[in-house]
Chain A
Amino acid sequence: MIEKALSGNKFYWAWVCFLLAVIAVGVASYIRQFHYGLGITGMSRDVSWGFYIAQFTFFVGVAASAVMVVMPYYLHNFKRFGRITILGEFLAIPAVVMCMLFIFVDMGQPTRILNVILYYTPNSIMFWDMVALSGYLTINVLVGWTTLSAQQKSVPPPKWVKPLIYLSIPWAFSIHTVTAFLYAGLPARHFWLSAIMAARFLASAFAGGPALLVILCIIIKRITKFDPGEKAVKGLVTIVTYALIVNIFFVGLELFTALYSQVPGHMQTFKYLYFGLGGHGKLIPLMWFSTFLAISAVVLLLVPATRTNQITLLFACASVHISLWFDKGFGFVIGGFVPNPLEKVTEYWPTLNELLVTTGIWSIGLLILTALYKIAISVKVELEA
């Protein structure tokens, strides 16, 4: 099947070349970082994780969200998703790859990465995250690839795939739960020390991931001969809507506990993010923009007229995705470090080199996604022809 990714029209190759160019810049920037050290980023002694770890956290959510098409289809026999399960699974693959790359570029001593396995330490959540992510990648590659090849040959998929598919469901929940546990178990950071963290992560993932999938479905319908189907998209939109509302509700719960209890540690980060702390407030515009996008997306998704119109739907889904990206892919991680344990404020802002490495990784993700979707869609189109 792989040959299907190697043939395409002018636009396909132009897009691939563009991605390769961005990747090349990313690799060059990474080499620079490798030689200089992580001091080339905006991170500091006080804000010791930045953009990379935030992106990692966000994309774990995107990866986990595949379960939102797999579960209804396989567990509840929700037939409409039959056409897009492969799109969900194939979205998870580049998302996990990006997660791994973001962890990798964040490491101070990347050449020692195998120490995590050589001196495996089960009391570290990082260990479990490694297990969860690599397991999830394997499952999705196996399931996606074998079901698609079976479809291509018009035979039922081999028997061993079914249990793997069922396994992928709790596994998807686990990857994001474990990722939340990286944060939620630290006595040092009030902002993260919250039992609802894993639930909130899942809610935001199940809004952001499917929103991206809606956008992808609409694009696919436009530029290829494959139609994911209006009903499938509708199903996704419902998931996005409720997950988004649940996520906003969870954020509200956090805010209530922090603001009503008035416990300083719980309030400070929220203050910093939304109003500024001690005259520092670089993230304020981003956080309000994110809030604005989330609320307008809820409105657009609830009103039938805007939900069914493709332009406004596209707009709403992009808003969901971008809003959650700012919230989780930026504010959440940086906010946890402000104020620092001595209650001083050091601000963080990514540097150009850091952003170039990041866009490089995004492009690697997009390239994998492009290739996988190209394969999946070619197979589907052939079958339907």
Chain B
Amino acid sequence: MSIGRRQFLKAAGVTGLLGLVGSPLLKIFAPGELEASSEFREGAALTARRWSLVVDMKGFPTVESYTKCIEACYNAHNIPHMDNEKHEVKWIWPETYEHAFPDNYDVYLSENIESMTFLILCNHCDNPPCVRVCPTKATFKREDGIVAMDYHRCIGCRFCMAACPYGARSFNWRDPRPFIKNLNPLYPTRTKGVVEKCNFCAERLSRGEHPACVEASEGALVFGDLKDKDSNVRNILRTKFAITRKPDRGTLPRVYYIIGGS
């Protein structure tokens, strides 16, 4: 929790007008807190200047290949299986090309692409509209690029859901707890009335673990530092043609898809 709070306060420092007065104030009122949390981060935690994810579609030939990623996420984050489709909570889920990339769709696309199933999730945008609109900073961007949420601060106004161009956010229309299949004590459950979404497994990174989906994907999902020019993700992006979802919205999505070719 302390890391989330620290990151949030830092986010406050760079976001908007408040930041101008926020960070000096912070130094006056909570000088020790910053120090303490920095030490915490240097332990086993995985860190980056800009986390990003590459989805290599070659690695998802079967239904099983992507379901295990989804299940890993559901189990790691206590995501409820709601019985009513309208109340669904989804962090990472499968879509066809037509729906994942609606702006690039054409009826004469290759059969190969038509048959593919794309895993979609929050893009952890570099310029995230969800952060821009949130009236409480319950949604905030961390220094490492992860767009995170404070479930205890969210007032459930759902402005962020209207603002996200990717449908990446879910709202708890009712108490989700009875719908959780395997409770993971390492991650909090949510209450009714708050929004949630993929957090790039921030809690696992802080324990030195890779995101749950990445771990389950057996190499099909590659997670790394976009700002490190020698990182795994940069090496892939340098040599393979990758696309992002709806780049025209100016959100700078940081989840890349490699669809074909070499």
A119-144 interface mask toward B, CB cutoff 8 Å, 1 = contact, 0 = none? Answer: 11111111100100000000000000
Closest to B96 in A: A342
For B191-211 the 0/1 string (1 means CB < 8 A from A) is: 111110000000000000000
Contact code string A323-346 (vs B, CB < 8 Å = 1, else 0)? 000000000000011001111101
Determine which of B99, B153, B159, B174 lies in contact with A119 in the assembled complex, contact meaning CB atoms within 8 Å. Answer: B153
B192: A residues at CB distance < 8 A: 36-39, 108
Binary interface profile of B, 147-186, with partner A (CB < 8 Å = 1, else 0)?
0000001111111011111110011111100000000000
Within 8 Å CB of A36, what residues of B? 174, 192
Q: How far is the CA of A152 from the CA of B202 in the complex (A)?
A: 65
Structural contact, A46 and B133, CB atoms closer than 8 A:
no
Which residues does chain A contribute within 8 Å of B138, judged by CB atoms?
115
Query: How far, in Å, is B158 (CB) from chain A's closest CB?
Result: 5
> Would B133 and A340 count as touching, CB distance under 8 A?
no
Task: Please state if A186 and B162 are interface contacts (CB–CB under 8 Å).
Answer: yes
**Contact across chains for A45 and B86 when beta carbons are under 8 A apart:** yes
Contacts of B102 in A (CB 8 A): 341-343
Q: Measured between C-beta atoms, what is the minimum distance from B117 to chain A in Å?
A: 14
Say whether B249 contacts A112, CB under 8 Å.
Answer: no
Residue of A nearest to B138 (CB): A115
User: How distant is the Cα of A48 from the Cα of B159 in the complex, in angstroms?
Assistant: 9
B173:A126 contact, CB within 8 angstroms: no
Chain B residues whose CB sits within 8 angstroms of the CB of A48 once the complex forms: 158, 161-162, 171
The proximity string for B residues 241-258 relative to A, scoring 1 for CB distances below 8 Å and 0 otherwise, is 000001001110000000
Check A106 for interface membership: any CB of B closer than 8 A.
Answer: yes
B189 CB–A CB distance under 8 Å = no
B84 lies within 8 A of chain A by Cβ: yes
The 8 A CB mask of B104-146 against A (1 = contact, 0 = none) is 0000000000000000000000000100111111100000000
Closest to A119 in B: B136
- Report which of B88, B129, B193 forms a contact with A45, defined as CB distance below 8 A: B88
**Are B155 and A124 in contact (CB-based, < 8 A)?**
no
- Residues in A with CB closer than 8 Å to B172 are 37, 108
> Quick check: is B41 within 8 A (CB to CB) of the other chain?
no
Beta-carbon nearest neighbor of B161 in chain A: A48
- A106: chain B residues at CB < 8 Å are 157-158
User: Do A121 and B153 touch (CB < 8 A)?
Assistant: no
B168 nearest CB neighbor, chain A only = A341
Residues of B contacting A342 in the complex (Cβ-Cβ under 8 angstroms): 95, 99-100, 102, 167
A108:B153 contact, CB within 8 angstroms: no
B155 CB contact (under 8 Å) in A46, A115, A186, A187: A115
Residue B63 at the chain A interface, CB threshold 8 Å? no
Residues of the A chain whose Cβ atoms lie less than 8 Å from the Cβ of B162: 48-49, 183, 186, 188-189, 336-337
User: Among residues 158 to 214 in chain A, which have CB atoms less than 8 Å away from a CB atom of chain B?
Assistant: 182-183, 185-189
A38 to B157, CA, bound (A): 11
Chain A: which residue is nearest B156 at the CB level? A108
Q: Which residue of B lies closest to A130 (CB)?
A: B135
The answer to whether A116 and B158 have CB atoms under 8 Å apart is no
Partner of B194, one of A46, A108, A336: A108
Question: B18 at the A/B interface (Cβ < 8 Å)?
Answer: yes
Decide yes or no whether B17 CB sits under 8 A from chain A. yes
Contact (Cβ within 8 A) A182 B159: yes
Q: A115 near B136 (CB under 8 angstroms)?
A: yes
Whether, in the assembled complex, B15 has its beta carbon less than 8 Å from a beta carbon of chain A, the answer is yes
Q: How far is the CA of A93 from the CA of B165 in the complex (A)?
A: 36
**Which A307-324 residues have a C-beta within 8 angstroms of B?**
none
Establish whether residues A120 and B18, one from each chain, have CB atoms under 8 Å apart when the complex forms. Answer: yes
Q: Is B16 an interface residue (CB 8 A)?
A: yes
Beta-carbon contact of A127 and B135 below 8 Å: yes
Most A Cβ at <10 Å: residue of B17, B89, B134, B167: B167
Give every chain B residue within 8 A of A46 (Cβ-Cβ).
86, 167
Q: How far does the Cβ of A296 sit from chain B's closest Cβ, in whole Å? A: 33
With A and B bound together, what is the CA distance between A183 and B162 in angstroms?
8
* Contact present for B136 and A186 (CB under 8 Å): no
| Contact B133 A186, beta carbon cutoff 8 Å | yes
Partner of A112, one of B85, B155, B161, B166: B155
**A188 in complex: contacting residue of B87, B98, B165, CB < 8 Å:** B165
**Minimum CB–CB distance for B98 against chain A, Å:** 8
Q: How far is the CB of A369 from chain B (nearest CB, A)?
A: 27
B179 to chain A, nearest CB (A): 11
Smallest CB–CB gap between A383 and chain B, Å?
A: 45
Please tell me if the beta carbons of B134 and A124 are within 8 angstroms of each other in the complex.
yes
Interface residue from A37, A122, A126 paired with B17 (Cβ < 8 Å): A122
Q: In the complex, which residues of chain B have a beta carbon less than 8 angstroms from the beta carbon of A108?
A: 154-158, 171-172, 192-195
What's the Cα separation between A265 and B88 when bound, in Å? Answer: 25
A1 contacts across to B, CB distance below 8 A? none
Residues of chain B within 8 A of A37, CB atoms compared: 172-175, 192-193
CB distance from B249 to the nearest CB of A (A): 4
Q: A151 contacts the other chain (Cβ, under 8 Å)?
A: no
Per CB-CB distance, the 10 closest pairs between chain A and chain B, nearest first, are: A108-B156, A108-B193, A39-B173, A44-B86, A123-B16, A37-B192, A126-B135, A37-B174, A188-B165, A39-B174
A interface residues with partner B (beta carbon < 8 Å): 36-40, 43-46, 48-49, 103, 106-110, 112-113, 115-116, 118-127, 130, 182-183, 185-189, 265, 336-337, 340-344, 346
A-B contact pairs, 26 of them (CB 8 A): A36-B174, A37-B172, A44-B173, A45-B86, A48-B162, A49-B162, A106-B157, A108-B172, A108-B193, A108-B194, A112-B136, A112-B155, A116-B155, A119-B153, A120-B18, A122-B18, A123-B132, A125-B133, A126-B157, A187-B165, A265-B103, A341-B246, A342-B100, A343-B98, A343-B99, A346-B86
